[in-house]
């Protein structure tokens, strides 16, 4: 069985999008199905996650998966604020 691909999520991006959505970690957990403790690890950059988990987080935040894996956070936040 091949290894499950993992990615290092952009923790500050997850936290920023969560804050912009007005969500607590517990609320994001309920929306995404990802444990609150795991969300905390990802936001602090302490863990990698599978691409499936990344998709669940992105769905819970209503952003494309690339948005929480990218380095160019300020441009993405500006775009989100304009569309909100």
Tens digit of each residue's pLDDT (9 = 90 or more) over 10-40: 999 999 999 999 999 999 999 999 999 999 9
Q: Name the CATH architecture for the domain at 6-78.
A: Orthogonal Bundle (1.10)
Quote the pTM value: 0.78
Q: 36-64: per-residue pLDDT in tens?
A: 999 999 999 899 888 899 999 999 999 99
CB 41 within 8 A of CB 29: no
Give bridge partners of residue 7 from the DSSP assignment: 49
Instruction: Evaluate whether 33 touches 27 at the Cβ level (below 8 Å).
Output: no
What are the residues whose beta carbons fall under 8 Å from the beta carbon of 24, sequence distance 6 or more?
18
């Amino acid at each position: 069985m091949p290894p499950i691909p993992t990615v290092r999520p952009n923790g500050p991006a997850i936290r920023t999008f969560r804050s912009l959505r007005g969500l607590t970690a517990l609320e994001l957990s309920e929306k995404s199905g990802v444990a609150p403790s795991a969300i905390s690890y990802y936001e602090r950059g302490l863990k990698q996650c599978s691409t499936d988990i990344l998709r669940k987080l992105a769905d819970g935040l209503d952003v494309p998966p690339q948005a929480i894996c990218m380095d160019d956070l300020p441009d993405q936040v500006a775009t989100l604020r304009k569309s909100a």
